[in-house]
Chains A and B, each alone.
Chain A
Amino acid sequence: MADAIRLRGVSFAFRKGRRTVPVLESFNLSVADGEIVALLGESGQGKSTALSLVSGERVPDGGSVEVLGFDLARMSRDARAQFRLANIAQIYQDFQLLPMLTAVDNVALPLSLRGMPRARATDMARSALADVGMARRLEHRPGELSGGEQQRVAIARAVVCEPKVLLADEPTGSLDADRRDEILNLMLEELRGTTTILVTHDPAVAGRAHRTVLMS
Chain B
Amino acid sequence: MRQLAVSWRTLASHLRRTELVRDLLVLIAVGTLAAFVVLFTGRVVFDNLVHESSLSYAALVADARPGLGDLAITSYKDGGVAPSSGTDDIAALQRTVDATVLTYGEGELSDAMRLFGGATISGALCDSGIGLDEATAANLSVGVGDEVTLWWPADASARPARVPVCGVLNPWHPEANLGARGYVVTSAALVESMAPGILSSMAGTITAYWFSAVPEASFTKAHVVESVIATNAGWTAFVWLVAFIGVGLWSFGAIRVWNGFRTSLSEPWRVLLGLGVRPALPPLFVLVVVTIMTVLASWASAVIARTFVLSWTSLYVTSQEIWFVAAILGLAALVVSASFVARYVARA
Residues of A within 8 A of B (CB): 55, 57, 77-78, 81-86, 88, 90, 92, 96-101, 109-110, 112-113, 115
Contact = CB atoms under 8 A, between A and B. Distances in A.
Contact of A98 (B10, B276, B280): B10
Nearest to A85: B276
B270 A101 contact: no
Contact of A84 (B3, B10, B267, B276): B276
A88 B274 CA distance: 10
A196 B265 CA distance: 30
Interface residues on B, range: 20 to 34
Listed from nearest, the 3 A-B pairs whose CB atoms lie closest are A85-B276, A84-B276, A112-B6
B217 interface: no
Contacts of A85: 275-277
A118 to B, nearest CB: 9
Interface in B236-289: 267-268, 270-280
Nearest to B348: A77
B14 interface: yes
Contact of B271 (A77, A83, A97): A97
Given A78-B279, A81-B279, A113-B3, A96 B10 contact: no
B2 interface: yes
Interface of B: 2-3, 6-7, 10, 13-14, 267-268, 270-280, 348
Given A81-B279, A112-B6, A113-B7, A90 B14 contact: no
B278 A98 contact: no
Where chain A touches its partner, the secondary structure class is helix
Contacts of B278: 77-78, 81-82
Contacts of B273: 57, 81
The residue among B270, B271, B276 with the most chain A CB atoms within 10 A of its own CB is B276
A98 B14 contact: yes
A82 B348 contact: no
In this complex, the member of B10, B14, B271, B280 whose beta carbon has the largest number of chain A beta carbons within 10 angstroms is: B271
B300 to A, nearest CB: 29
Contacts of B267: 96, 98-99
A183 to B, nearest CB: 19
A113 B6 contact: yes
A93 to B, nearest CB: 13
B6 A101 contact: no
Contact of B274 (A77, A90, A112, A115): A90
Nearest to A96: B271
